[in-house]
Structure 1
């Protein structure tokens, strides 16, 4: 085969690899009680001046992050859902960068470009990793925005953050207070639902990560829905970048973690945004309960919008985020 033909074939393969995408970033947190969380702290990680980098935490895991914009501007930190990556916030990162903010997003351990960890895939360690990141970048007066599982991570971190680190928190289609049905949470989803997630992931993760975004995640299974193949493909791409073991463990994290104490502890303004047609994290057992637990909360719901509304309707969501940030 000639050099030009080899180059053409390689280019075609790269195109195919980047074309498939979509994932079931359903977002949920795991209360992994089986292992004590690693107290993640920065370990000899050089600060990046190129817009992205890694921070190495105490157990050796490397957490990838993007850091765009003026370092003197107010930071916004975005926390992605399961099983996605920081790329899921592209529409928000670009918008708020243009508004003059410093925008930061990281790939949770086991997700995206971060280490494919086989341990520490639970909410306490996730929050410890965020502490390591915010220490590494010395972020102060930051606004933390979390979607789905990332909403659990954001509030779990905010309840443990050093004074002066957190200015506001936003929960978008987020899992708190707790997703799992328990005697104390009778409206939650039965354990069998999450066992089904685990079974599907273990059997054929690639297919599972196509079915979720093509169906309930973006509401593309609704009659008359305007389907975006690009969103489906991008979801799949992000999901398949991560580690199967970390994704499997995280199902417990997003479904079993009880964020009630975190919601009650955080003493900064909290905006709770939720689509009324969220098929992944039903609003009645999440946002409607969470707003009753926070000290300084505002609830904003969206008629007919799905779980992934920040991607399907970024113009609507970005406008409301900006108003909250500036208030």
Structure 2
């Protein structure tokens, strides 16, 4: 299995699927998951001739679990090392939830020379905390309750999140997939406690000013029934700061779009890539 050793001696696991000479896509997962959560997108894109690369963020999945470095800047540096090590060029960056934050910070910290476009799916950008200036954001007390729940019983909390708001299984008429719930829980419990706890603070990051520096094409995808990152806090808000972005809305879509709208998301990414030439 491929691993990369970072500058601070952390072993990062990554997957490299498909045509090694094909157009590259780099996928960054949400919390508290790992690259396995992208398997449907990676399999689809690899079969379309793409080189699909995804990593397990430090502290998650099969990567090491260091005590320090569970923050957006460090993750951006980790991504930079992988992209440079594999010599990916004209890359399409794809991020879901927390993963949208670290690929954004990768661009603003390390440049866009290797980037062709970006896809943000239900991401924590541009700024999702509720303030007088951002009344549609998430109250900080919600994230405090997440942290309290993890300290009390992480395993139980990691059952409740996918059983309810993450996939929208708490909505009337929505049939839950026990397989999706079990997979989410297993990935979450494979991650380190410190990393999953620390990552919740990354959701308080304000990306608005740095997003103004991004001028390449960006596809923003958001479900309008996202109970984790509310549509009015994310979604079209990203377009206020990005110079060259389009929005795709999934009506009634939950936070876990890559898992519950597999065909739609796969084709959104493919069509976006083809539109870039």
- TM-score normalised by the chain length of structure 1: 0.82
Q: CA deviation at 1:183?
A: 4.2
CA-to-partner distance for each residue in 1:115-144, whole Å, 9 max, x for gaps?
112111110101011011111111111000
Of 258, 273, 277, the match for 1:325: 273
State the alpha-carbon separation in 2 of the partners of residues 252 and 207 from structure 1.
21
Aligned residues: 275
Of 128, 131, 141, the match for 1:192: 141
1:237 and 2:186 are equivalent in the alignment: yes
Q: CA deviation at 1:262?
A: 2.7
CA-to-partner distance for each residue in 1:184-220, whole Å, 9 max, x for gaps?
4333212111110000111111111110000000000
Q: Where does residue 283 of structure 1 map in the other structure?
A: 231
What are the within-5 Å matches in structure 2 for residues 1-327 of structure 1?
52-253=1-202, 255-327=203-275
RMSD across aligned C-alpha pairs, in angstroms?
1.1
* Structure 1 portions without partners, runs of 5+: 1-51
Q: Where does residue 11 of structure 1 map in the other structure?
A: none
Q: Secondary structure at the match of 2:123?
A: coil
State the alpha-carbon separation in 2 of the partners of residues 276 and 165 from structure 1.
32
Asked which structure has the greater RCO (Cα within 8 Å, sep 6+), the reply is 1
State the alpha-carbon separation in 2 of the partners of residues 96 and 237 from structure 1.
25
Highest CA radius of gyration, 1 or 2? 1
Q: Secondary structure at the match of 1:160?
A: helix
Q: CA deviation at 1:292?
A: 1.2
Could you list the structure 1 runs, at least 4 aligned residues long, displaced by more than 4 angstroms after superposition: none
State the alpha-carbon separation in 2 of the partners of residues 102 and 286 from structure 1.
29
Q: CA deviation at 1:163?
A: 4.6
Q: Where does residue 38 of structure 1 map in the other structure?
A: none
